[in-house]
Amino acid sequence: MNGKTIVTGVIGADAHAVGNKIIAFALQQAGYKVVNLGVMVTQEEYISAAIETNADAILVSSLYGHGEIDCNGLREKCDEAGLKEIPILAGGNLVVGKQDFADVEKRFMNMGFNKVYPPGTPIETTIEDLDKILGIER
């Protein structure tokens, strides 16, 4: 264990459970303590779990295309809850239809996310980014 806690789950009405479990397993194998909220998670549930566990980062997954809608306002709610410094990462099929990922990424960054990943991103990429953000040396 590296001493860092990650809160993860699938946001909104999305019920894609398999990928969520794979992500949680990969994070655990990388040494992270994982608080997996499962599927159909609200913004408030991410925030409550992050506060309760003194989490170091929040990782949001979404595959059903409504991630942008579901994630809008999460940073502001984190800030209001005293989580101004917590990194928020998101990945998956975050929008409906085929959109230039650079545009999607820009919108998420403008919403206060620290990292955003397109569909098909290997979890190893996210783990490398978490390591950098949280100062983990391997």
Instruction: Find the helix or strand (DSSP H, E) in which 7 lies.
Output: strand 5-10
Return the number of other C-beta atoms located less than 10 Å from residue 71's C-beta. Answer: 24
Non-local CB neighbours of 128 within 8 Å, separated by 6+ positions = none
Which 3 state secondary structure label does DSSP give 25? helix
The partner residues of 6 in beta bridges, in order of sequence, read: 34, 57
> Which tokens hold the place of 74?
């999460």
Q: How far apart are the C-alpha atoms of 92 and 116, rounded to whole Å?
A: 9
Catalytic residue numbers read 14, 16
Q: How far apart are the C-alpha atoms of 21 and 23, rounded to whole Å?
A: 5
